[in-house]
Amino acid sequence: MKIGFDHKKYLDEQSKYILERVNDYDKLYLEFGGKLMNDLHAKRVLPGFDENAKIKLLQKLKEKVEVVICVYAGDIERNKIRGDFGITYDLEVLRLIDDLRGYGLDVNSVIITRFDGQPATTVFINKLERRGIKVYKHRATLGYPTDVDTIVSDEGYGKNPYIETTKPIVVVTAPGPGSGKLATCLSQLYHENKRGNVAGYSKFETFPVWNVPLKHPLNIAYEAATVDLKDVNMIDSFHFDAYNEVAVNYNRDIESFPVLKRIIEKITGKESVYKSPTDMGVNRVGFGIINDDVVKEASNQEIIRRYYKTICEFKKGYVDKDVADSAKLIMEELNLKESDRKVVNPAREYSEKLKKLNCKESYPVVALELNDGTILTGRGSEIMDAPAAVILNSIKHLANISDDIHLISPVILEPIQNLKFKTLGIKNTVLNCEEILIALSICAATNPTAQVALNKLTELKGCQAHSTTMTSNGDEQTFRRLGIDITCDPEYQSDNLYYNN
């Protein structure tokens, strides 16, 4: 993989600027934009970026850091899914707590924002409290967003309970956007000021990158990633007026800045040190780019991946048509085509060939590009689905094992299918990726050839794949764990509604 980003330089720059901000206050509330861990988007668009760069930076500062996690009650009620892991926001909160503790970071509490007694949220609160996790409940802020006098009063932020913290840096993170991180930070500033403490607010930013051009593919990839939120990158006019310097930010931050500035000034009783929304962010990503061409190409490929993800979500009913249309417009803006993803045409062409041979309307095929550029395919069958087939074909190729050799004996596969159908009553007996890999690992105990193939799974990390039909959640998760980026055409594998995957 060509490298376009200097991870170490970025970490050094980012940590230095955070510490400079901390020196101005007794306590700094640091809102984390984007993902705190497993930032796969940043890893894909900035080749060389460590997906856990943020958490590793905090780990270096762990003696000064504690974390609060915000989650919006409405997201819990509607079972909102974190797309990259396929888990609901409440489960993502639990995962965050475990992972943060694993890095040696102190998790202070969970904040339930805009809480109004929602039943499912109440159950979640009980679950947390009975496991010893502190929970604070914040109601919707009276007067927000325009009535600053009410917001900054005992009837506004004053209604929220004060979160007791002990360390100079309080990281405020969440499972996803719209979780109430900013409101939590401002509420704490209000309470800190009432107590006579000097507290400040800043935002740990990654995207958009303020010192990269507005129409750079890296920044457009951010728009593609947040197309459902209708985020649009813009020139920060406040920053230009204050410093005569062009900086890129996004619409929500720019639109909310005047009110945010007034709120901070009302809380502190003095003029804000921030002249623009860009000022509020600590974002040194642009200084870590060492090969712009590599970053541009990686960003273009991410835009195509995001396009496929969005049109599949539209097919499933998760997003509206205007969201899918916006994703298409972003593609057109950069003159990108669906086939600019190299694995798309091989998958589609093989599928068309199989459909003609077998007289079927749909024939699932997955094409996978290895790290050396070789493209392999796998087709669905009565035994295994197409994603599982392409994984087996790929590791056989990497291990120089002939196609004629069966890695998994029918003696292993048939009992698994019988178990699914006859014992567990599962109508779809086609084996998925996880089931095939478990079967392969069983065979590897007595079959050296299977073990050689199994050892090649790690070489699939960073590979690209495309499916002619939408894959199951289980297969998506397996591909993600293997480090394979997969896209899909917006077609179901069959006409079944419930038994489709």
Q: Where does residue 108 rank: exposed (0-12), middle (13-18), buried (19+ CB within 10 A)?
A: buried
Structure tokens at 419: 């178990």
Distance from the first to the final alpha carbon of the chain? 33
Structure tokens that stand for 316 in this block: 């499933």
Same domain? For 138 and 260 the reply is yes
CB contact at 8 A, 45 and 303: no
Residue 311 lies in a domain: no
Is 499 within the bounds of a domain? Answer: no
Query: Is residue 91 in some structural domain?
Result: yes
pLDDT reported for residue 31: 94
Are residues 266 and 366 part of one domain? no
Is the residue at 419 inside a domain? yes
Residues 271 and 348 in one domain: no
143 and 41, same structural domain? yes
The reply to whether 280 and 354 lie within a common domain is no
Tokens of 59: 């780990």
Tell me: do 271 and 347 sit in the same domain.
no
> Could you tell me if residue 226 is inside a domain?
no
DSSP string, 326-373: HHHHHHHHTT--GGGSTTHHHHHHHHHHHHHHHT-S---EEEEE-TTS
Distance, in Å, from the CA atom of 185 to the CA atom of 32, rounded to the nearest integer, reads 11
Is 88 in the same domain as 191? yes
Q: Which 8-state DSSP code applies to residue 83?
A: T
Q: Which two tokens stand for residue 243?
A: 């410093």
Give the separation between CA 15 and CA 100, rounded to whole angstroms. Answer: 18
Number of domains the chain is built from:
2
- Residue 186 CB partners (closer than 8 Å, separation 6+): 157, 201, 260, 263, 264, 267
The residue among 254, 288, 322 that closes a domain is 288
Residues 255 and 355 in one domain: no
435 contact partners, CB below 8 Å, separation of at least 6: 388, 416
Check residue 34 and give its pLDDT. 76
Distance between CA atoms of 365 and 354, rounded to whole angstroms? 9
CATH of the domain at 458: 3.40.140.40
In a domain, 59, yes or no: yes
Q: In this structure, are 374 and 484 located in the same domain? A: yes
Residues 203 and 346 occupy one common structural domain:
no
- Within a domain: 307: no
Residues in Cβ contact with 51 at an 8 Å cutoff, skipping those fewer than 6 apart: 37, 38, 39, 40, 42, 43
pLDDT of residue 500: 61
- Integer Cα distance of 48 and 295 in angstroms: 10
Contacts 24+ apart (CB under 8 A), 335-339: 336/300, 336/303, 336/304, 336/307, 338/304, 338/307, 338/308
Closest CA to 307 of 221, 178, 215: 221
Same domain, 278 and 132: yes
Q: Domain range for residue 387?
A: 341-488
Q: What is the distance between the alpha carbons of residues 152 and 17, in angstroms, rounded to a whole number?
A: 29
Among the three residues 251, 270, 288, which one is the final residue of a domain in this structure?
288
Residue 322 inside a domain? The answer is: no
Same-domain pairing of 32 and 141: yes
**CATH classification at residue 147:** 3.10.630.10
| pTM (two decimals) | 0.90
* Helix ranges restricted to H, 108-233: 119-129, 148-151, 181-194, 217-225
8 A C-beta contact, residue 138 and residue 192: no
Closest CA to 151 of 111, 117, 190: 190
* 259: three-class secondary structure by DSSP: helix
pLDDT tens string for the chain (501 positions)? 789 999 999 988 888 888 888 888 889 999 987 788 888 999 999 999 999 988 988 988 899 999 999 999 999 999 888 766 778 999 999 999 999 999 999 999 999 999 999 999 999 999 999 999 999 999 999 998 889 999 999 999 999 999 999 999 999 999 988 899 999 999 999 999 999 999 999 999 899 999 999 999 999 999 999 998 888 999 999 999 999 999 999 998 999 999 999 999 999 999 999 999 999 998 999 999 999 999 999 999 999 999 999 999 999 998 999 999 999 999 999 999 999 999 999 999 999 999 888 877 778 999 999 999 999 999 999 899 999 999 999 999 999 999 888 899 888 888 888 888 888 888 888 999 999 999 999 999 999 999 999 999 999 999 999 999 999 989 999 999 999 999 999 999 877 776 665
| Structure-block tokens of residue 179 | 């979780």
